Amino acid sequence: MPAVVVVHGGAWSVPDKLAKAVVDGVKMAALDGFSVLERGGSALDAVEAAVRNLEDNVTFNAGHGAVLNADGDVELDAIIMDGRALGSGAVSSVKNIPNPVSLARAVMEKTPHLLLTSRGANLFAESIGMATVPTDTLVTANEREEWEEHRSYVAGVTEDFNSKCAHDTVGAVAVDSAGNVACATSTGGIRNKMVGRVGDAAIIGCGGYADNSSGAVSCTGHGESILKVTLARLILSHMEQGSGDTLHGCILFLTNKQFHLHAFFFPVPSQGNPQRSLHSWLCSTWASVCAAQEESSWCLHQDSGQLNLLQ
Amino acid sequence: MPAVVVVHGGAWSVPDKLAKAVVDGVKMAALDGFSVLERGGSALDAVEAAVRNLEDNVTFNAGHGAVLNADGDVELDAIIMDGRALGSGAVSSVKNIPNPVSLARAVMEKTPHLLLTSRGANLFAESIGMATVPTDTLVTANEREEWEEHRSYVAGVTEDFNSKCAHDTVGAVAVDSAGNVACATSTGGIRNKMVGRVGDAAIIGCGGYADNSSGAVSCTGHGESILKVTLARLILSHMEQGSGDTLHGCILFLTNKQFHLHAFFFPVPSQGNPQRSLHSWLCSTWASVCAAQEESSWCLHQDSGQLNLLQ
């Protein structure tokens, strides 16, 4: 099984002035995740490393660089999932945590629960000695300006879909050499979201899902649309049914529901050549590193076009 | 299409001393939900009415009668979903709200979001003038005693599976005469849960899902197990595939994953005779009212046995 890691930097359009930073960011994160796999690390370790890298990069809307909610505060969502036994951890609406994906992993490994929210998630972080940072540390001057200028959530969502938003949710999927899959997704949500709004990124089966028997998915896009169709689980259901046109099946399904869906998804199957089955829809920016045939070979991809199926 | 409403009062074993109260409670809630359908109300109206009835009944672990978390506090989760266009609303870890299912419906109808959590959910409740009650109003003397006696979460879960717990999550599914389906689920969670723990009940695709093209499901049981397999969505996926042995398919799937799942699920299909397809697994207590053939006919069922398929 060739090891592979795929990372994405969000669903929205990237303005030219930020294109290089975004592409460099996803490449660096993919390489970081892949270096974990090369050292014999698990898919779970790889997706955590890749997403931490993106959370530390202010170019992306996760951890440092997060958007502000309606109160001008930062509330973060993240999930991580291990395809070996469906272990998962997530946090929603957590504050002052620079790497929510690692807090999500701690929920998975150190509690009997899968999802901790808001103050409870922060209390848990404190109980395990996880470092916190002031909110201002997570917010860029540019985000503060954007927030001052655009105070309407609905208008903001519309603008985001029309190329004015530079960053969004991040995520990663990976397969390790043992054939185990994992996913992770992390986000600051959508600017001017209501206090306490939770999108798809913290929700199992929506912002992410990983199951060794089928594959792993990380989603990004309009959270409420993704939640309605439990997109990550839906994609894996199609993959489990062995349909060659998984992607078209999903799009058709969504069209039949007659509502607007804005989402990307990044599935990686646990069986077969990961590259051949890697899809992106209305693709924004992502990068993958794959050890095909020989462990030392790798390749990078970046695409900002339309429907793209790697061969 | 015969209208039908099915309600459940949780997954755990019911002690003899509470059997009558539990059975009377689910019967009353089912009748309440059905009366809405009889008056021409929607499936959505019916499940909200039924679940409000159960939330107002201290016999059940939702709204009044909720269990206490590790801090001796009450944090409530609820979801409601309308199968017509996959509209959904949910609240997690909300406090002092006697009818979280109605707050969930307000999230669906009055915000651009699907899920509000914790303080943000309470701020929203305040903004729409929803009445709150002191925490003590929601807690029974019996729950306070049980909590003082059993302070371990893990031990509590084990005991719950061994007949010492009297109440659990509630939920309802319905089909109205127009063939629309809906679901609602509401809970106080599991005693001694960590602060901020969110189980399946607030999570779309896990504690509930409703889609006119397939059916509606409300789940109850060990929340973390349900979350791992996104149980509500999984069941509907099996129903969508038209398998006659939907239930067995799901059980087999779960067994293959090699982890323990403790859950009930109550699916109602949007097509065909709802009664014939009504399943319960390791069934606790539930009731249904169905307008089969003639609008005025109805029937009630209560079962505390094993796998049960209504014919």
At B253 the pLDDT is 54
Least confident of A59-63, A243-247, B286-290, B304-308: B304-308
Catalytic residue positions of A? Answer: 169
Can B187 be counted among the known catalytic residues? no
Q: Is B94 helix (H, G, I), strand (E, B) or coil?
A: strand
How many beta-carbon pairs below 8 A join chains A and B? Answer: 149
Q: Residue type for A105, please?
A: R
Q: Which of B59, B169, B185, B246 is catalytic?
A: B169
Is B89 labelled as part of a ligand binding site? no
Judge contact between B185 and B208, C-beta under 8 A. yes
Residues 134-163 of B with CB under 8 A from A: 153-154, 157
DSSP string covering B151-215, please? Answer: --HHHHHHHHTTT------EEEEEE-TTS-EEEEEEE--STTPPTTB--STTSBTTTEEEETTTE
Residues whose CB falls within 8 Å of the CB of residue B259, separated by 6 or more in sequence, listed in order: A85, A86, B225, B228
Pick among A77, A91, A194, A252 to test the B interface (most B CBs inside 10 A):
A194
Q: What are the tens digits of pLDDT across the range B8-36? A: 887 666 777 887 888 889 889 989 999 99
- Asked if B204 and B230 touch (Cβ cutoff 8 Å), the reply is no
Question: What are the angstrom distances between the C-alpha of B146 and each of A299, B69, B140?
Answer: 59, 12, 10
CA-to-CA distance for B268 and A67, rounded, in angstroms? Answer: 41
Higher pLDDT, A243 or B239: B239
Spatial CA neighbour of B106 closest among B114, B118, B94: B114
| Structure tokens belonging to residue A260 | 């607007």
Which one is the CATH code of B4-302: 3.40.50.970, 3.40.250.10, 3.60.20.30, 1.10.150.20?
3.60.20.30
DSSP letter at B66 equals P
In the predicted model, what is the mean pLDDT of chain B? 80
DSSP-assigned states of every residue in A150-216: ---HHHHHHHHTTT------EEEEEE-TTS-EEEEEEE--STTPPTTB--STTSBTTTEEEETTTEE
Average pLDDT, integer, range B269-282: 45
Q: Say which residue the tokens 């499940």 belong to.
A: B47
Predicted-complex ipTM score? 0.89
A87: pLDDT strictly greater than 60? yes
In this prediction, residue B227 carries a pLDDT of: 94
A187 at B interface, C-beta within 8 A: no
Asked whether the predicted pLDDT for residue A7 surpasses 70, the reply is yes
pLDDT at B239 > cutoff 50: yes
Annotation-wise, does A238 bind a ligand? no
Indicate the residue of B114, B123, B257 with minimum beta-carbon distance to A227.
B114
A245-280: pLDDT as tens digits: 555 555 555 555 444 444 555 566 665 444 333 344
Residues of A in contact with B92 (CB under 8 A): 92, 117, 198
Helix (H, G, I), strand (E, B) or coil at B13: coil
Instruction: Give the separation between CA A22 and CA A8, rounded to whole angstroms.
Output: 10
A 198-227 residues with CB < 8 A to B:
198-199, 203-206, 209, 213, 223-224, 227
CB contact under 8 A, B204 and A193: no
Q: What is the per-residue pLDDT for B152?
A: 73
* Res. A53: pLDDT tops 60: yes
- What does the pLDDT average to over A67-85? 96
Chain segment A106-159, per-residue pLDDT in tens: 999 999 999 999 999 999 999 999 999 999 999 999 999 989 987 777 666 656
Residue B307 has pLDDT above 60, yes or no: no
Q: Where are the domains of chain A?
A: 4-302
Q: Which of B57, B136, B133 is nearest to B98 (CA)?
A: B133
CB contact (8 A) between residue A119 and residue B196 = yes
Residue B284 pLDDT > 70: no
pLDDT grade, residue A4 (50/70/90)? confident
Whole-angstrom distance, CA of residue A213 vs CA of residue A236: 10
pTM of the model: 0.89
Tell me which residues of chain A, numbers 266 to 295, contact chain B at a CB-CB cutoff of 8 Å: none
**Which of A67-71, A300-304, B209-213 tops mean pLDDT?**
A67-71
The owner of tokens 């003590």 is B136
Structural contact between residues A244 and A255, judged by C-beta atoms closer than 8 angstroms: no
Q: Which of A250-254, A287-291, B233-237, B244-248 has the highest mean pLDDT?
A: B233-237
pLDDT reading at A160 higher than 80: no
- Statement: residue A171 has pLDDT above 70: yes
